[in-house]
A and B are shown apart, each in its own frame.
Chain A
C-alpha cells in the first residue's frame, strides 16, 4: 500500500513541480512503459529504479552542467506499440528529449522507427531513445539507427554467454526452448538453435515452441510436454506473469533440471517462486547483486531499500543509463543538442556500479558488459528480492560478453 501511495504522491509532486516554471530547466526523461495491466509490476518497478538512480547518481551530486536536475516523467503505454507512439508524441510535445523504454521489443521496434522518422523531419526537436531492456537483436542490427542506444545485453549476447555455460555441463543432453510469440521470443529461439548447434552439436533440441504473450492462463500442458520430452534443461525468454506461471508449472510438475531464464527475478516473481524453485531457476543477466561487487554498490542498494522497502534493484542496468547519460551530457556541454550527446555516448567507457567496465560499441550502439549466470536461492545472499529471503546469486560470469559479436548495423550518422 505504501508504495502505491508513494507513487501517487510522487506523481502529484512531479506535476506540481513540473508546473513551476522556475524548474523548467530540468532534464526530463520520458519513461514509456506499462504502468497498468498484466505487466504493470515490471513497469512500475522500473520506474522507481529510474527515479532513485536519477536522484542518487545525478541530483544529489548537484545535477549536470550548471545544476540541471534529472526528472523522470512516467507515461503508461500498456505494452501496446500503438499506445506507445501516442505517448511518444505527447512526450515530444512536452519538449522531452530523452525517451526510456524497455518492456517488449515489439514496442521498442515501433518507438525506434517513429523516433528515426521524427528526428529526420524535425531537426529542432530531436530525441534519443534509451532502450534499457528490449533485447531483440534486430534493434542493433538490421533495424539500428543513430538515435537508439541499448543498455542491456541483447538476446544473442545473453544466449552466447548462456550456451557457454551449458556447453560446459555434460549432464545436459536435451534442451527445450519455449517463449512468447513475438519478435523477442523468436529471437531467443533462433539464437538457442544457432549457438547450441555451434558449441554442442550433440545436444538435442527436443522442443521449440512459442505461446501467445500475456494470454496463457495455465502453463500445465506446456510443462507436461517439457517433462514428457525428458528434457534436461529449459531455456525461456519469458517475462512478467508468463515467466512466473511457466516457472511455477514446471516446478509443480516435478521438472528438476535447470530452467535458464532471462527475467525470472524481482517484481514478485522471486517471492512467488520461493522455495520450490531453489537451485532450479537460473537467470542470465548483467549486474551482480549477490555477492555485492563493491561497498559502493552495497551502499546504493541499502539506500534504495531504505527508500523503497517493497522494491528491488532488479534492473541494475538502469544506473548505467542514468550515469552514462549524465556523463554524455557533461561531455557534450548541452542537454538539448542530442546529436552531440549521442556522439558522446558512442564509444563511451563507464565504470559499472555493479562491477566491471561497460563499453558502448559505436558500430551498433550495443552496450558491451559482463553477463552473469545467477541462481535462484536463499543461501549466501546479501540482498534478497521481494523481502522473501530468496534472491539471485552469481554462479558464473562471462566478461565483456559479445565484445566481438558481429553486427549487420549500417548506421547513418547525422
Chain B
C-alpha cells in the first residue's frame, strides 16, 4: 500500500516532466500543423544552457535565464528558418525540424563534448523532503512537481482567461480572420513557438540534474514525446496532461511490480511448455514487466491509433 503511494508520486514526477515537453510540442503542432522533430533538442539545450549558467551564477540563475534563452533561440529559428520554409508546405517543414535536431545535437557535442556533464541538484534541495515507509522522497522531486504544476496552471490561465490567449486560440483555428482583424499573426506564431520551446527548456533545466545531461538526452526522450501527444490527441493541452501522467504511471508501476507474462498466459488458460528453454515461445514466457516497461507507451499508442485515431482528447485525425 505504502509502495503504491510512493510509485504514484514517482510516476507523477515522470508524467509532469513529460507534460512540460509535450505541452509545448502540442501547442506548436496545433498552431503550425507541423510536428517539431527538434522539440526534444530544445529540452537538451535547456539543460546545457542551465549548466553553463550554473557554473558561474548557480542553479537558480540557470533556472531563470536558460528557459528564456532557449525560447529566444526557438523564436529566432521560427522567424528566420521555419517561416521561410513554411510557404513550401508541411513536408519541407518536417525535414527542416528533423535537420535542426541533428544540427543541435552536433552543436552540443562540439561545444560541451560527448561526456556526461556534472550538472547537479543544488545543495539547498539535497535533502529528503519526507519518507513513506522507508522510501524517501527527495526534496528535488517535490520541487519538480511544484514547478510543473505552476507552469500548467499559468499556461491554462493565459490560454483561457486572457486576451492574448483568446487571440492565440483564434489564430490557431482561423488565422486569416484574425489577420483581417488587424492582429499580427506571424508574430503570434513566433511567440507560441518561442514559448513552446521555452517550456521544453524549463523541462531540460529541471530534468537535467536527475536524468543526467549528455548529448544523447534528446534522443532518449524524443520519441516518447511524440507518443504522448498522439495518445493525448494532437493539439490538446488536456490530452497532453492526461497522456503524460498515464505514461508516467504505467512505466513506473510496470517497473516496480514484477508482473510476469507467465502468470498472464497461464491465467488466460495456456499451459507452460516444458522444458521452457527449448520452446520457441521461451522469450515470451519469460518476459517480465520491468523488462518492457519503457516500451509499453508505444504499445498504448498503437492501440490508440487503431481504436481512437484522434487520441484521447483530440478533435482531428492524426
Which of A's residues lie within 8 Å of B, judged by CB? 1, 3-5, 8, 35-41, 44-45, 181, 209-212, 214-218, 220-222, 224-225, 227-228, 241, 244-245, 248, 252-254, 267-269, 271-272, 274, 310, 386, 388
Say yes or no: A245 contacts B252, CB within 8 Å.
Answer: no
Complex: A41 Cα to B288 Cα, angstroms: 31
Segment at the A interface, from B23-31, B93-101, B189-197, B210-218: B210-218
* 8 further contact pairs, Cβ within 8 A, besides A209-B290, A241-B116: A35-B114, A45-B114, A209-B258, A222-B255, A228-B3, A228-B135, A248-B212, A253-B135
Among residues of A, the one whose C-beta sits closest to the C-beta of B256 is: A221
Say yes or no: A241 contacts B212, CB within 8 Å.
Answer: yes
Which chain A residues border B6 with CB–CB below 8 Å? 224
Which chain A residues border B116 with CB–CB below 8 Å? 41, 241, 244, 267-269, 271-272
28 A-B Cβ contacts within 8 A? Answer: A4-B113, A37-B219, A40-B109, A40-B215, A41-B215, A211-B290, A212-B291, A212-B293, A212-B294, A212-B295, A216-B294, A218-B13, A218-B14, A218-B210, A220-B10, A221-B7, A224-B7, A224-B10, A241-B212, A241-B220, A248-B212, A254-B128, A267-B115, A272-B117, A272-B118, A272-B119, A386-B118, A388-B118
Interface size on B, residues (CB 8 A): 47
CB distance from A339 to the nearest CB of B (A): 37
Q: B216 contacts which of A5, A37, A254 (Cβ < 8 Å)?
A: A37
Say yes or no: A215 contacts B220, CB within 8 Å.
Answer: yes
Among residues of B, the one whose C-beta sits closest to the C-beta of A216 is: B294
Query: Could you count the A-B residue pairs with CB atoms below 8 Å apart for me: how many are there?
Result: 142
Q: List 6 A-B pairs, minimum CB-CB distance, nearest first.
A: A268-B116, A38-B216, A268-B115, A221-B255, A271-B118, A41-B114
Which chain B residues border A274 with CB–CB below 8 Å? 118, 120
Say yes or no: B115 contacts A38, CB within 8 Å.
Answer: no
Which chain B residues border A1 with CB–CB below 8 Å? 110-113
Q: Which of A45, A220, A386 has the most CB of B within 10 A?
A: A220
Complex: A380 Cα to B138 Cα, angstroms: 31
Interface string of B58-100 (1 = CB under 8 A from A): 0000000000000000000000000000000000000000000
Tell me if B136 is interfacial: C-beta within 8 Å of chain A.
yes
Interface string of B127-160 (1 = CB under 8 A from A): 0100000111010000000000000000000000
Tell me if B166 is interfacial: C-beta within 8 Å of chain A.
no
Say yes or no: B214 contacts A38, CB within 8 Å.
Answer: yes
Among residues of B, the one whose C-beta sits closest to the C-beta of A39 is: B216
Complex: A245 Cα to B253 Cα, angstroms: 18
Among residues of A, the one whose C-beta sits closest to the C-beta of B140 is: A252
CB distance from B39 to the nearest CB of A (A): 15
Chain B 262-296 interface residues, beta-carbon cutoff 8 Å to A: 288, 290-295
